[in-house]
Structure 1
Amino acid sequence: MSTEPGTTEETGPGTPETPEAQTAPRTPDETARGGAAADGADGDGDGAPEGTDGGTGKPELSEAQAELAAQRVERERIERRRAERREPVESGAKLSGKAADLLAAVRAVEGGGKPASTVSAEPSRPVPERAAEPGPAAAPARPAPAAEPVREERPTPAPAPAPAGPAPRAVDAVRRVLAEGGAPEALARQAAGALGEGAGEVLREDPWQLLRVPGVRPEQADGFARALLGAGCGPGDERRGRSVTVWLLERAALAGHTALELSALTAALAQRGVPDPDEAVRSTLAEGEALVFEDALEDAGAPSSARAEDDEEAERPVRVLIALERYAMAEESLADGLARLIDSPSREAEETWAPVVAALSGGGAELARAVAGHGLVLHTGGEAARAEPAALLGAARDAGLRALAVCHTPDGRDRLAALPPARGAGVGTVAGLLAGAEGPGRDGDGALELDLLIVLDAPQLDVESAAMLVESLPDGARLVLSGDPALLWSAGPGRVFADLLAAGACPRVASRLPDPGPIGELLSGIGVGELNQVEAPGKEVVIVPVREAGEAVHRTVQLVADSVPRAFGVPVEGTVVITPGHGGAAGTRALNSALKERLNPGPGRFGGFDPGDRIAYSPAPGRTLPGTVVKADAEGLHLSCAGAPVVVPRERVEAWVRHGWALTAHQAVGGRWPAAVVVLPGDAAQALSRPWVYTAFGRGERHLSVVQGAEGALPRAVAEVPARPRTTRLAALLRPQSPTG
Structure 2
Amino acid sequence: MTALPQGSAPGSTADESAEAEVAPGTAQAPAEEPGAAEGAGPGAEGEARTGVEEAEPADELAAEEAGRASEAEPADAAEGVERADEAGGAEAEAGTDETGGPEGAAEPAADAEAAAAAQVSEAAAELAAQRELRARIEQRKAEKDAPIPAGTKLSGTAADLLAAVRAVESGEKSGATFFAGPPPAPRKPAPGPAQEAAPVRPRAPESAQAPATSAEALASVRSVLSRGGAPETLAAQVTGALGEQAAERLGADPWQLLSVPGVRPEQADGFARALLGAECRPDDERRAAALVGWILEQAALRGHTALAADDVRKALAGRSVPDPDEAVQQAIAEGVVLVFQDGLAEEPEPAEDTADTEGAEETAEPVEPVEVLLGLDRYALAEESLADGLARLLNSPVGNDGSVWPEGGELIRAVAGSGLVAHTGGEAARAESAAVVTAAAAAGLRAAGAAHTLDGQRRLAELTGPLAAFTLAGLLSGEGPGRDADGALALDVLVVQDAAQLDVETAAVLVESLADGCRLVLSGDPGVLGPAGAGQVFQDVLSARVCPVVASRLPDAGPVGELVSGIGIGELNQVEAPGKEVVIVPVRDAGEAVHRCVQLLADSIPRAFGIPVEQAQAITVGHGGSAGTRALNAALKQRLNPGPGRFGGFDPGDRAAYAQDLGRTVVGTVVEADAEGLRLDCAGTPVLVPKERVESALRHGWALTAHQAVGMRWPAVVAVLPGDAAQGLNRPWVYTAFGRAERHLSVVHGVDQALPRAVAEVLPAPRTTRLTPLLHGLMKPAEQ
For the superposition of Structure 1 and Structure 2, which TM-score range results when normalised by the shorter chain?
Answer: 0.7 to 0.9
> Partner residue of 1:80?
none
Distance 1:521 1:166 in 2: 60
Residues 637-680 of structure 1: CA distance to partner in whole angstroms, max 9, x if unpaired? 22223433233332221112111111111100000001000011
For 1:592, what is the secondary structure of its paired residue? helix
Partner of residue 381 from structure 2, selected from 329, 332, 337: 329
**1:740 and 1:512, CA in 2 relative to 1: closer, same or farther beyond 3 A?**
closer
Distance 1:297 1:415 in 2: 46
Residues 562-584 of structure 1: CA distance to partner in whole angstroms, max 9, x if unpaired? 01111111111101111111111
Distance 2:332 2:771 in 1: 21
Structure 1 residue 628: Cα displacement: 1.4
Distance 1:168 1:382 in 2: 51
Is residue 443 from structure 1 mapped to residue 484 from structure 2 by the alignment? yes
> Partner residue of 2:471?
429
Equivalent residues of 1:356, 1:392 under 8 A apart: no
Residues 425-445 of structure 1: CA distance to partner in whole angstroms, max 9, x if unpaired? 311111001111x22111111
Structure 1 residue 217: Cα displacement: 0.5
> Partner residue of 1:308?
none
Is residue 318 from structure 1 mapped to residue 385 from structure 2 by the alignment? no
Q: How does 1:397-408 map to 2 (within 5 A)?
A: 397-408=441-452
Distance 1:252 1:214 in 2: 13
Partner of residue 494 from structure 1, selected from 535, 550, 555: 535
> Partner residue of 1:155?
none
Partner of residue 576 from structure 2, selected from 535, 545, 551: 535
Structure 1 residue 392: Cα displacement: 1.5
Q: For structure 1, which segment, 284-293 or 516-525, has the greater mean C-alpha deviation from structure 2 after superposition?
A: 284-293
> Partner residue of 2:340?
293
**1:468 and 1:542, CA in 2 relative to 1: closer, same or farther beyond 3 A?**
same
Equivalent residues of 1:577, 1:678 under 8 A apart: yes
The one-letter amino acid paired with 1:196 is G
Distance 1:391 1:652 in 2: 38
For 1:608, what is the secondary structure of its paired residue? coil
Q: How does 1:509-588 map to 2 (within 5 A)?
A: 509-588=550-629
Is residue 280 from structure 1 mapped to residue 327 from structure 2 by the alignment? yes
For 1:348, what is the secondary structure of its paired residue? coil
Give the gaps of 5 or more residues in structure 2: 6-196, 200-211, 347-363
Give me the identity figure in percent: 67
Structure 1 residue 273: Cα displacement: 1.1
Structure 1 residue 332: Cα displacement: 0.4
**1:705 and 1:28, CA in 2 relative to 1: closer, same or farther beyond 3 A?**
farther
Structure 1 residue 623: Cα displacement: 1.6
| TM-score with structure 1 setting the length | 0.73
Residues 408-454 of structure 1: CA distance to partner in whole angstroms, max 9, x if unpaired? 011011111112xx233311111001111x22111111111111010
Residues 544-576 of structure 1: CA distance to partner in whole angstroms, max 9, x if unpaired? 101111111111011110011111111111011
Structure 1 residue 282: Cα displacement: 2.0
Equivalent residues of 2:487, 2:513 under 8 A apart: yes
Q: How does 1:4-43 map to 2 (within 5 A)?
A: 28=3
Q: How does 1:176-187 map to 2 (within 5 A)?
A: 176-187=223-234
> Partner residue of 1:388?
432
Distance 2:251 2:398 in 1: 59
Structure 1 residue 633: Cα displacement: 2.9
Distance 1:412 1:581 in 2: 23
Is residue 246 from structure 1 mapped to residue 293 from structure 2 by the alignment? yes
Give the gaps of 5 or more residues in structure 1: 1-25, 31-111, 115-164, 300-311
Distance 1:739 1:197 in 2: 47
> Partner residue of 1:457?
498
For 1:425, what is the secondary structure of its paired residue? helix
Indicate the RMSD between aligned Cα atoms, in angstroms: 2.0
Residues 497-552 of structure 1: CA distance to partner in whole angstroms, max 9, x if unpaired? 11111111111111110001000100111010000000000000000101111111
> Partner residue of 2:221?
174
Q: For structure 1, which segment, 581-590 or 284-293, has the greater mean C-alpha deviation from structure 2 after superposition?
A: 284-293
> Partner residue of 1:41?
none
Structure 1 residue 700: Cα displacement: 0.7
Distance 1:434 1:740 in 2: 29
Distance 1:341 1:673 in 2: 36
**1:211 and 1:373, CA in 2 relative to 1: closer, same or farther beyond 3 A?**
same
Partner of residue 461 from structure 2, selected from 417, 432, 448: 417
The one-letter amino acid paired with 2:451 is C
Equivalent residues of 1:28, 1:215 under 8 A apart: no
Structure 1 residue 374: Cα displacement: 1.1
Distance 1:443 1:417 in 2: 24
Structure 1 residue 281: Cα displacement: 1.7
Distance 1:644 1:390 in 2: 22
**1:493 and 1:633, CA in 2 relative to 1: closer, same or farther beyond 3 A?**
same
Equivalent residues of 1:637, 1:647 under 8 A apart: yes
For 1:684, what is the secondary structure of its paired residue? helix
The one-letter amino acid paired with 2:627 is A
Equivalent residues of 2:398, 2:416 under 8 A apart: no
Equivalent residues of 1:166, 1:196 under 8 A apart: no
Equivalent residues of 1:581, 1:587 under 8 A apart: yes
For 2:735, what is the secondary structure of its paired residue? helix
Equivalent residues of 1:617, 1:658 under 8 A apart: yes
Return the structure number with greater relative CO, CA threshold 8 A, min gap 6.
Answer: 1
Q: How does 1:604-619 map to 2 (within 5 A)?
A: 604-619=645-660
**1:411 and 1:617, CA in 2 relative to 1: closer, same or farther beyond 3 A?**
same
Structure 1 residue 297: Cα displacement: 6.6
**1:712 and 1:331, CA in 2 relative to 1: closer, same or farther beyond 3 A?**
same
For 1:480, what is the secondary structure of its paired residue? strand
Distance 2:474 2:647 in 1: 29
Equivalent residues of 2:492, 2:517 under 8 A apart: yes
Equivalent residues of 2:412, 2:439 under 8 A apart: no
Distance 1:269 1:389 in 2: 46
> Partner residue of 1:84?
none
Is residue 657 from structure 1 mapped to residue 698 from structure 2 by the alignment? yes
**1:733 and 1:520, CA in 2 relative to 1: closer, same or farther beyond 3 A?**
same
Equivalent residues of 1:548, 1:682 under 8 A apart: yes
Partner of residue 506 from structure 1, selected from 535, 547, 571: 547
Distance 1:663 1:249 in 2: 28
Distance 2:588 2:488 in 1: 57
Structure 1 residue 401: Cα displacement: 0.4
> Partner residue of 1:341?
393
The one-letter amino acid paired with 1:256 is G
Residues 312-364 of structure 1: CA distance to partner in whole angstroms, max 9, x if unpaired? 97635421111111111000000000001111125423x52xx3242x2xxxx
> Partner residue of 2:643?
602
Residues 449-478 of structure 1: CA distance to partner in whole angstroms, max 9, x if unpaired? 111010000000110111111111111111
**1:370 and 1:317, CA in 2 relative to 1: closer, same or farther beyond 3 A?**
farther
- Greater helix share, structure number: 2
The one-letter amino acid paired with 2:290 is S
The one-letter amino acid paired with 2:384 is E
The one-letter amino acid paired with 1:348 is N
The one-letter amino acid paired with 2:699 is R
> Partner residue of 2:241?
194
Q: For structure 1, which segment, 285-294 or 522-531, has the greater mean C-alpha deviation from structure 2 after superposition?
A: 285-294
> Partner residue of 2:405?
356
Equivalent residues of 2:451, 2:470 under 8 A apart: yes
Aligned length: 561
Equivalent residues of 1:523, 1:698 under 8 A apart: yes
Residues 125-161 of structure 1: CA distance to partner in whole angstroms, max 9, x if unpaired? xxxxxxxxxxxxxxxxxxxxxxxxxxxxxxxxxxxxx
Is residue 216 from structure 1 mapped to residue 263 from structure 2 by the alignment? yes
Distance 2:521 2:414 in 1: 10
**1:356 and 1:29, CA in 2 relative to 1: closer, same or farther beyond 3 A?**
farther
Is residue 713 from structure 1 mapped to residue 754 from structure 2 by the alignment? yes
